[in-house]
Amino acid sequence: MVAYPNSGAIYDPTTKVWTHSHAVDKVFSNQALKWHGLGCKWFGGCCYTSSKEIRLLKETFAAIL
């Protein structure tokens, strides 16, 4: 299983604008832990995912693996 989510930003199709929230900084990696528990072994990133989110993934999984 592979997960390839966006950064947690929300897209408004009416205004065609992405909204970013600093409140979702760890949501990406916390969700990845849930997906890992369900069998996902590969993670990537899509729209607006940056090295910051990938670094958080690395830190999150380093703590448990």
Alpha-carbon dihedral sign for residues 44, 49, 51, 56: negative
pLDDT for the residue 13 = 92
Q: Note the pTM of the prediction, 2 decimals.
A: 0.65
Are the C-beta atoms of residues 42 and 3 closer than 8 Å to each other? Answer: yes
Are the C-beta atoms of residues 3 and 32 closer than 8 Å to each other? Answer: yes
Task: Give me the helices (H) in the chain, please.
Answer: 27-37, 51-64
> What is the per-residue pLDDT across 5-63, written as a single tens digit (0 to 9) for each?
766 677 889 999 988 765 566 777 888 889 899 998 888 887 777 888 888 888 888 98
Using DSSP, state whether 31 is helix, strand or coil: helix
